[in-house]
Each structure stands twice: as C-alpha cells, then as structure tokens.
Amino acid sequence: MLRTPAGADEDALVATLQLLIDHHDMLRLKVSRPTDGEPVLEALPPGAVPARGRFTRVDVAGLGPDAVRAALTEAGEAARRRLRPAHGEVIEAVWCDAGPYTRGRLLLIVHHLAVDAVSWRILATDLATAWQGVTEGSAAALPAVATPYRSWAHLLASQARGSARAAELPLWETALGTPDPQLGYRPLDPRLDTADRTRTLTARLPATWTRPLLTTVPTAFHAGVDDVLLTGLALAVSSWRAQRAGDRTGESGLLLDLEGHGREQIADHIDLSRTVGWFTSLYPVRLDPGPVDARQPGNFDAALVERALKRVKEQLRTVPDHGVGYGMLRHLNPATRPGLAAAPQPQIGFNYLGRYAAPSGAAGGDGDPGTDWEVVLDGGGPPSQDPDMPVHHVLDINAHTEDLPEGPRLVIRWTWPVDLLKEEDVEILSDTFVRALRAIAEHAERPEAGGYTPSDLPLVSLNQAQIDRLQNKWGGRK
C-alpha cells in the first residue's frame, strides 16, 4: 500500500499502472497446468494485460482513518479473490480516492507466484518513477531489467542437473537426518492446519539491545546478522525443549528451514537487482549451539554464548550459495527429487527480512504528513495469505528491523496453528529467545569476546581450539 499524491486522478494512475505491468514480465504471468505434466509459466506480451481491468476506485473522501481502513479491507479482499493466474490475472490495484486535496492510497495485490519481498521494493520505486513520467509528459523509460525471470528459470533448470549441485546432496541429506522431536501436540496436518487457523505473537526488542546485535556482535565475531539471530534461536529452542522434556544432556541440534531472498550470484552474467519475480529460497539446516542446562533455563552465560555463536556461524558457512541449490535438487532434478521429497521436513521456519525504514507520518486522514508514494505499513487490506492455504511449519518465525528515530528495533513474529501449540508455550519460547539475544549483545561488550573462526582463515588449516589458543597467546580477540 502506497500514498498517492493529492489531486491524483484515475486516468493517470491507470496509465502509471500500465507502464508497470508492461515493463515487468511477471506481472503478466499466466500459469497453465497440462493434465499430464508440470505447470507451465508464461509471460504474456506487453499490452496483453490491460491495467484498466485490474483497477478499482473507492471513494473515501471525508472518511476517517477507521472507515478508510474498512473500505480498503473490503475492496482489497474482493480484489484478492479476483486473482486468477490461469487467466493471466496476477495483479489487482485498489485506489482509495480521498478527494482533490488529500493524499489517497493505492493498494497493490499481486499473486505470490509473481513477486517476493525484494520485488515489492522494485515496484514501489518504479511506481513513483512511472507516475512522474505520466504526469510530466516525459518519455523517460523505467530502468531496464538486466536479467529476465525466464533466464533465471532456465539457469536453475540447467544447474539442477549438473555435477556441482549433485555434490551438495549429502549435505542436505545430513541436515534432514537431524533428530527432530515432535514440536506440537500432534503432527502437522495440511488438511486441518491452514492459514485461517493460526495465531501470531509479536515481540519487539528495544534499540538498546537491537543496535549491538546489528553492529557490535557481527563485528566482534566476523559474522552476519543472520548468524547472530540464528544463534539466539538455536539456544532458545534447545533450552525450551530441554525444559519441556526435563532432559539435561539430550540432543542440542536444531533442524530448521531457512528462508532467503534467493537472488544469489550463481553465474557471472546475471544481474537480478531489478528483476521482479518469486526468487525466495527455502532450505534445511542443522544448527547445534552445544548443550544447554535445563536446570537453569534461560541462563546463557558468556562461555555458552561464545561457543554457540562460533559453532552456528561455522555450520552456516558450510551451506553453498545460501542454500539455493537445495531447491534445485528438491524440485528440478529427477534423480534427487524423490529422496528429498520423502525425507522428514523441518517443523520450524525462520526468515530475517532485513531492515525497513519506519513511515515518516501517521496513517492517513486529512493533513496526512506522509510523503507521496511512501509505503504504508499498516493501513488495512486483505490478509497476506489465502485463508485455506496449508501451513508448512508448526512454528514460523519472521523477523525484521524497523529503523525508528530512537534507533533500530527488532520485531519478531511467531506464527503457529492454534491446535498444535498453546500460546503460553510460544510466549515462553519468545521470552527465551529475547533473553538469548540480550545475553549475546551483553557478551559482545566484553573485551575478550569474539574472534576468528576457521572459515575466516581459508588459507590455513586450523580448528577453533587452535585459533583460540593463538588469539589468547597474542592477546587479541578481534
């Protein structure tokens, strides 16, 4: 959802939307499903999808914020139901016209087959550029798309059958072989556990603790933000499971589905920075932070944190190309697909979406202080998932960082089917995760915290113990 300029008119908005649809192939996606084969994706030619037929105007002039939200939600849900990929209809737009002197709102709804999180950023920027061209009568074109989605799809299919990707198979088989005790009160059932039967718990970590997790900790351990967050999650789940089972010495490994943006540089000739499409990768990893003591739940001391972060970082470094090869072998290689499909799937999914700027003004209404074409993060609209869509994990964790005036704030959303976990179960796990992250942030302030791990020193063959001895000998950890 974006703020539209005051005085915007329907014809100009439709023309802007037409430029967007004609420029990005996946907004003209058509999906056919032969009775005896795999689905086929086709990008219809520019002009084949008239923007006028995908555009709805709603008059909200003079309405308050709550009424605008209600109107957007009603019209947005109707638009969502009109999406029909089999007919080449994967995009809908709903414009709330607030009158000639007030900014309106444009709600874009696109089928997930055609976009991912990165695509939304591209589309938001291009909408503003296209609007400027339409309203100023300039002939400036949208920036070119260097690598079409079709080229990426063919590259995946080609690499999936190559020896380099086939060599990854033992890595994925080992990860999927991780002992994974039942997380919920019963196994996940796609017939019963659907999106409309889930609950979400949101936790927020203040800037005091978020800031070091994004800066001090990664610097001290020569790590990424994902390494830090996943270490905290691995510690939290291990501690939570140990508490529930009363097991103080059991399996500390965690089987996890990691979700990534998928736009990996797997060939020299590709540039996906402006390609709209669904690139998201999903792949299993085994994270083992080492044993935790259930007798002191949530007590993450310095030694435990130091060991866990280095271990998890190294385990993640064994995954090539951020896991994009797993999807190739799981879906596109006929020799490896059956075995990976039959393997037990992770019960937990995790996705860190990165950093987002907070909106500059309040949501809607007269005198809206926001800016033209700014994204509105919470302004109504339909649910982001089809209510009947099967849930893929017992527990899904989605995190992102909000850049606020007082500093960055980590937001963590826990989503689960209501029949599989109690809310208090998730609250305990969420609280344990926050404690683990705080312990990591506090530990990084110590002068002796951090240091190198084997993946940082690829030209020498040293294990972690040897690296630690050398760093202690020379009096430096950083």
Q: Model's pTM, two decimal places?
A: 0.89
Question: How far is 464 from 315, CA to CA, in rounded Å?
Answer: 13
pLDDT (0 to 100) of residue 355: 86
With 50 as the cut, is the pLDDT of residue 363 above it? no
Residue 385 lies in a domain: no
Closest-CA residue to 315 (of 414, 178, 469, 470): 178
Nearest to 175 by CA among 250, 233, 255: 255
What digits encode the pLDDT tens for the residues 156-204? 999 999 999 999 999 999 999 999 999 999 999 999 999 999 999 999 9
**Given a cut of 50, is residue 349 above it in pLDDT?**
yes
pLDDT at 475 over 70: no
Q: Under DSSP, is residue 89 helix (H, G, I), strand (E, B) or coil?
A: strand
The CATH number of the domain where 8 resides is what? 3.30.559.10
Residue 368 lies in a domain: no
Residues 168, 253 within the same domain: yes
Establish if 379 belongs to a structural domain.
no
Task: Report d(CA 144, CA 315) in Å as an integer.
Answer: 38
Predicted confidence (pLDDT) at residue 88 exceeds the cutoff of 60: yes
User: How wide is the angle at C-alpha 80 spanned by C-alphas 75 and 86, nearest 5°?
Assistant: 145
In this structure, the answer to whether residues 26 and 169 fall within a common structural domain is no
**pLDDT over 60 at 47, yes or no:** yes
Judge whether residue 389 has pLDDT over 60.
yes
In whole numbers, what is the pLDDT of the chain averaged over residues?
91
Q: For 216-241, what is each residue's pLDDT tens digit?
A: 999 999 999 999 999 999 999 999 98
* Position 127 in a domain: yes
Q: Residues 68, 199: one domain?
A: no
What is the per-residue pLDDT across 298-308, written as a single tens digit (0 to 9) for each? 689 899 999 99
Residue 452 has a pLDDT of 86
CA count, 13 A, side-chain hemisphere, 218: 14
Residue 251 has pLDDT above 70, yes or no: no
Helix (H) or strand (E) holding 311: helix 302-317
At position 285, the amino acid (one-letter code) is V
Specify whether 6 is located in the same domain as 126.
yes
Instruction: Please state, in angstroms and rounded to a whole number, the distance separating the CA atoms of residues 199 and 204.
Output: 17
Assess whether 120 and 245 both reside in one domain: no
- Residue whose token pair is 């002197």: 101
Q: What angle separates helix 423-444 from helix 207-214, to the nearest 10 degrees? A: 60
Mean pLDDT, residues 446-456 taken together = 85
Amino acid at 404: L
The pLDDT score that the predictor gives to residue 250 is 56
Local confidence band at 477 (pLDDT 50, 70, 90 cut-offs): low
Q: How confident is the model at residue 297 (pLDDT cuts 50, 70, 90)?
A: low
Please tell me whether residues 18 and 155 are part of one structural domain: no
CATH value at residue 288: 3.30.559.30
Least confident of 55-64, 250-259, 337-346, 410-419: 250-259
Task: Give the count of domains, the chain.
Answer: 3
* Closest CA relative to residue 285, chosen from 172, 192, 433: 172
Based on the domain organization, do 101 and 156 belong to the same domain?
A: no
Cβ-contact 340, 172 below 8 angstroms: yes
Rounded to 5 degrees, what are φ and ψ at 320?
-75, 145
Please give the span between the terminal C-alpha atoms of the chain, in angstroms, as a whole number: 44
CA–CA gap between residue 14 and residue 51 (Å, rounded): 6
pLDDT at residue number 287: 96
58 and 193 share a domain? Answer: no
For the chain, the farthest-separated pair of C-alpha atoms sits apart, in whole angstroms, at 72
Put residue 147 in one of left, alpha, beta given phi > 0 → left and psi -120 to 50 → alpha.
Answer: beta
Domain limits at 463?
450-478
CA–CA dist 350, 257 (Å, integer): 6
Question: Rounded CA gap, 321 and 171, in Å?
Answer: 13
On whether both 90 and 211 belong to a single domain, the answer is no
- CA–CA distance from 230 to each of 240, 287, 307, 383 (Å)? 15, 8, 14, 28
Q: Judge whether 184 lies within some domain.
A: yes
Residue 175 forms part of a structural domain: yes
Give the least confident one: 86-95, 317-326, 468-477.
Answer: 468-477
Q: What pLDDT score was predicted for residue 367?
A: 47
In a shared domain, residues 409 and 457: no
Q: How many CB atoms lie within 10 A of CB 181?
A: 12
| Nearest residue to 276 via CA among 97, 94, 26 | 26
Whether 459 and 442 share a structural domain: no
Domain closes at, from 97, 122, 143: 143
- The percent of residues in the chain predicted with pLDDT above 90, rounded, is 77
Question: Of 143, 170, 191, which residue is a domain's last?
Answer: 143
**Which of 133-137, 299-303, 329-333 ranks highest by mean pLDDT?**
329-333
pLDDT recorded at residue 476? 56
7 and 77 assigned to the same domain? yes
Q: DSSP characters for 4-41?
A: EPTT--HHHHHHHHHHHHHH-GGGGEEEE--TTS--EE
Q: What is the pLDDT of residue 235?
A: 95
Region 149-162: mean pLDDT is 96
Half-sphere exposure (CA, 13 Å, Cβ side) for 318? 17
Cβ atoms within 10 Å, residue 206: 13
**Structural domain includes residue 128:** yes
235 inside domain: yes
Is the pLDDT reported for residue 293 higher than 50?
yes
